């Protein structure tokens, strides 16, 4: 028995909601630690590291604390298992909705047998079952938070047929999709039929994130108002646009997606969650940084700023290269010119102002960048980066050691230390990246006219591990100073 988990369960400690789940054998129900239900006897309790492990053991989610809906996925026992993390991200984004397990294994340079073994060793559940459970969990969110038809929800969640959807769903939740939809409508008013709700934990400052993104929005690809963020997108299966607004009364972002294949909902839902940093547990970070004289002034009402992560990592690589040693405004202008030069236009049904898709790496290699205001050196660097990404010499994923990404990316001609750290932080969402040579960081740590050396900055930042990306945001936010690109 884990005494820490037991104590947290008895206290109903919300700080442990992302660290474990527990099941009650006498009821067959699993809950999060803060569940308001009566405290079960310890001898009847089983602890789980993930929601998938609980489902695999035959437990069903509690209808009071809703661990399947109100708490996003976490996996308490796979720290450092980068291969499993990479596979999970692809599964969460719907990869197995279009591909076989053999394809996923090949992407990860493994045999499908080895991949299954890794999943069972680390999660106790094979990847095919996790994909099935994930599809059901995502479908339940659509049933609760959208007014899509049950047929559309089945296919948006990756099921091949309504019959399969009903059978799998009822096995996991003990109710049919129709019953869950009816239960939801007796408790709440019907949701907007085009809107998904992305739940978050307060405090959440949506306008602060918008104010960060606004000066960096590419004309024609992104649009930002005082109340919303919108952009175009393309996935392997579809193209479309989405609009995000805040709904503080429901503690959620409202996500409206327009696309030509609803199977993209799962991927876009997950990517927007990452984009707005909805799943980080800030409890430890806030406590740690509030005691630091350099970082506390950059916090907002005792809360660390959230990390806005780029929706499209390659797009951000280009943006970072364009932003080397120039202002935010100048880099944004150049990025918009690149998008216009690509001339990959949207359909007439798209909202006015969302006119282009940003080029992919293969499209970028065919693009003439002359006459846009880019130096020959920057043009060459963009082409070099696109080739390396296509050749898979550089991987644009957060689920890799930073040192690996640094080694791969920094070997490219024209890519310096600032660019590597900036892409790792804002393009990939690595939480312990630190751009020590960034002008905003240097100014925030200066004492009067005394500018700290790079060595001094790196030494000081050691105490901010493993959250140096958030430390960087605090430094940028300090005295309203901003990043340099």
Residue 136 has pLDDT above 70, yes or no: yes
State how far the Cα of 42 lies from the Cα of 36, in Å rounded to an integer.
16
State how far the Cα of 284 lies from the Cα of 12, in Å rounded to an integer.
18
Cβ-based neighbours of 261, under 8 Å, separated by 6 or more = 237, 238
Could you give phi then psi for residue 119, rounded to 5 degrees? -65, -45
Q: For the residues 106-127, what does the mean pLDDT come to?
A: 89
Residue 71 pLDDT level (bands cut at 50, 70, 90): low
Cβ-based neighbours of 393, under 8 Å, separated by 6 or more = 408
Q: Is 8 contained in some domain?
A: yes
- Could you give the number of structural domains in the chain? 1
pLDDT at residue number 343: 94
Domain that holds residue 26: 3-61
What Rg do the C-alpha atoms of the chain give, in angstroms?
23
Tokens 């091949």 -> residue: 160
pLDDT at residue number 77: 44
Could you read off the pLDDT of 326-349 as tens digits, one per residue? 999 999 999 999 999 999 999 988
Could you read off the pLDDT of 371-394 as tens digits, one per residue? 999 999 999 999 999 999 999 999
CB atoms within 10 A of CB 476: 22
pTM, entire model: 0.80
Residue 190 has pLDDT above 90, yes or no: no
CATH number at residue 14: 3.40.10.10
Could you read off the pLDDT of 288-314 as tens digits, one per residue? 999 999 999 999 889 999 999 999 999
Q: Is 303 contained in some domain?
A: no
List beta partners, residue 257.
242
Angle between the N-to-C axes of helices 127-145 and 162-173, in degrees from 0 to 180, rounded to the nearest 10: 90
Q: Is 95 contained in some domain?
A: no
Q: Is 12 contained in some domain?
A: yes
Q: Is 32 contained in some domain?
A: yes
Q: Is 428 contained in some domain?
A: no
Could you read off the pLDDT of 236-290 as tens digits, one per residue? 878 999 999 999 998 999 999 998 888 888 889 989 999 999 988 898 899 999 9
Q: Compare 193 and 52 and report the one with higher pLDDT.
A: 52
Residue 485 pLDDT level (bands cut at 50, 70, 90): low
State how far the Cα of 102 lies from the Cα of 249, in Å rounded to an integer.
44
Degrees to nearest 5, angle at CA 447 with 209 and 295: 35
Residue 316 has pLDDT above 90, yes or no: yes
Could you read off the pLDDT of 14-40 as tens digits, one per residue? 878 878 999 999 999 999 999 999 999
**Alpha carbon separation from 189 to 144, 181, 202 (Å, rounded):** 11, 12, 22
User: Is the preceding peptide bond at 466 cis, omega within 30 degrees of 0?
Assistant: yes
pLDDT at residue number 80: 45
**Alpha carbon separation from 143 to 59, 165, 257 (Å, rounded):** 21, 13, 16
pLDDT at residue number 333: 96
Q: Is 14 contained in some domain?
A: yes
**170-174, 183-187, 314-318: range with highest mean pLDDT:** 314-318
What whole-number percentage of the chain has pLDDT above 70? 94
Please give the mean pLDDT across all residues of the chain.
89
Q: Is 54 contained in some domain?
A: yes
Could you give phi then psi for residue 88, rounded to 5 degrees? -60, -45
């Amino acid at each position: 028995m884990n005494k820490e988990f037991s104590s947290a369960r008895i206290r109903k400690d919300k700080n442990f909601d992302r660290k474990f789940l527990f099941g009650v054998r006498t009821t067959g129900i699993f809950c999060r630690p803060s569940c308001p239900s009566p405290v079960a006897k310890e001898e009847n309790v089983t602890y789980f590291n993930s929601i998938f492990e609980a489902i695999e053991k035959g437990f069903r989610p509690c209808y009071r604390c809703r661990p399947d809906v109100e708490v996003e996925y976490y996996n308490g026992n796979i720290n450092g298992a980068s291969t499993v993390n990479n596979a999970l991200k692809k599964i969460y984004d719907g990869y197995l909705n279009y591909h076989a397990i053999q394809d996923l294994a090949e992407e990860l340079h493994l045999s499908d047998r080895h991949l299954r073994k890794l999943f069972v060793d680390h999660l106790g559940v094979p990847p095919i079952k996790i994909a099935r459970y994930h599809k059901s969990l995502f479908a339940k969110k659509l049933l609760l938070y959208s007014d899509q038809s049950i047929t559309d929800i089945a296919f948006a969640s990756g099921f091949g047929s309504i019959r399969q959807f009903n059978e799998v769903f009822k096995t996991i939740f003990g109710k049919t999709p129709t019953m869950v939809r009816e239960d939801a409508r007796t408790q709440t008013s019907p949701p907007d039929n085009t809107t998904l709700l992305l739940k978050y934990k307060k405090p959440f400052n949506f306008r602060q994130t918008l104010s960060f993104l606004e000066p960096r929005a590419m004309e024609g690809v992104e649009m930002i108002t005082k109340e919303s963020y919108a952009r175009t997108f393309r996935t392997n299966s579809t193209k479309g646009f989405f609009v995000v607004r805040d709904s503080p009364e429901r503690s959620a972002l409202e996500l409206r997606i327009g696309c030509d294949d609803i199977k993209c909902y799962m991927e876009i839902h997950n990517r927007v969650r990452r984009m707005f940093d909805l799943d980080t547990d800030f409890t430890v970070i806030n406590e740690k940084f509030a005691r630091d004289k350099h970082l506390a002034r950059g916090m907002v009402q005792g809360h660390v700023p959230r990390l806005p992560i780029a929706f499209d990592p390659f797009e951000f690589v280009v943006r970072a290269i364009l932003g080397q040693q120039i202002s935010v405004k100048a880099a944004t202008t150049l990025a918009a010119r690149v998008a216009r030069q690509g001339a990959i236009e949207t359909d007439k049904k798209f909202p006015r102002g969302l006119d282009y898709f940003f080029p992919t790496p293969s499209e970028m290699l065919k693009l003439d960048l002359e006459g846009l205001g880019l130096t020959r050196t920057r043009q060459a660097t963009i082409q070099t980066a696109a080739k390396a990404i296509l050749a898979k010499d550089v991987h644009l994923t957060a689920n890799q050691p930073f040192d690996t990404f640094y080694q791969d990316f920094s070997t490219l001609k024209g890519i310096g230390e600032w660019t590597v750290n900036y892409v790792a932080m804002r393009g990939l969402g690595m939480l312990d990246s630190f751009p020590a040579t960034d002008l905003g960081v240097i100014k925030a740590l200066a004492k009067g006219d005394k500018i700290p050396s790079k060595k001094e900055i790196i030494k000081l930042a050691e105490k901010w591990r493993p959250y140096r990306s958030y430390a960087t945001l605090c430094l940028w936010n300090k005295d309203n100073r901003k990043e340099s690109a």
